[in-house]
Structure 1
Amino acid sequence: MAPSTLLGRVYSVFFRRTSTFALTIAVGVLFFERAFDQGGDAIYESINQGKLWKHIKHKYEEE
């Protein structure tokens, strides 16, 4: 039985077997965690622009 829809193809490739389902979830979690972490850091740095040490350390370092 050949799946004709995109959803059917995704199911047959990623979710039909338990091992591929678990691997898909694990890889998805890794990518989501990385993207969420970088997104949170970017938002934090944009809110605190000019207040963080890396933005003001040139004022206090001696040459």
Structure 2
Amino acid sequence: MSIQGLIYNTIFKRTSTFMLAIIGGSFLFERAIDVTSDTIFETYNKGKLWKDIKHKYET
């Protein structure tokens, strides 16, 4: 059995498993985009964020 046949038989053959794959894939994609964008934002703004300057203003 080829890999295409395996993927078809496990995911695409039934609508319910196909929908679960879509939901799971969209959740993982959303989390990856969120973590990546937060990392880029924090790297670009390092030294300007509250967590970086909080020690100057706390008593």
* Same fold at TM > 0.5: yes
Q: Name the SS of the counterpart of 1:51 in structure 2.
A: coil
The structure in which a higher percent of residues are helix is 2
Q: Residue 60 of structure 1: CA displacement?
A: 1.0
Q: TM-score, normalised by structure 1?
A: 0.86
1:47 aligns with one of 37, 44, 49: 44
Q: TM-score, normalised by structure 2?
A: 0.91
Cα distance in structure 1, aligned partners of 2:5 and 2:37? 34
Matches within 5 A, 1:16-35: 16-35=13-32
Cα distance in structure 2, aligned partners of 1:46 and 1:56? 15
Question: Which stretches of structure 1, 4 residues or more, deviate above 2 A after TM superposition?
Answer: none
- The residue identity in structure 1 corresponding to 2:4 is L
Cα distance in structure 1, aligned partners of 2:54 and 2:2? 56
Q: Residue 8 of structure 1: CA displacement?
A: 1.7
Question: Quick one: percent identity of the two aligned structures?
Answer: 53
Alignment RMSD, CA only?
0.8
The number of residue pairs the alignment matches comes to 59
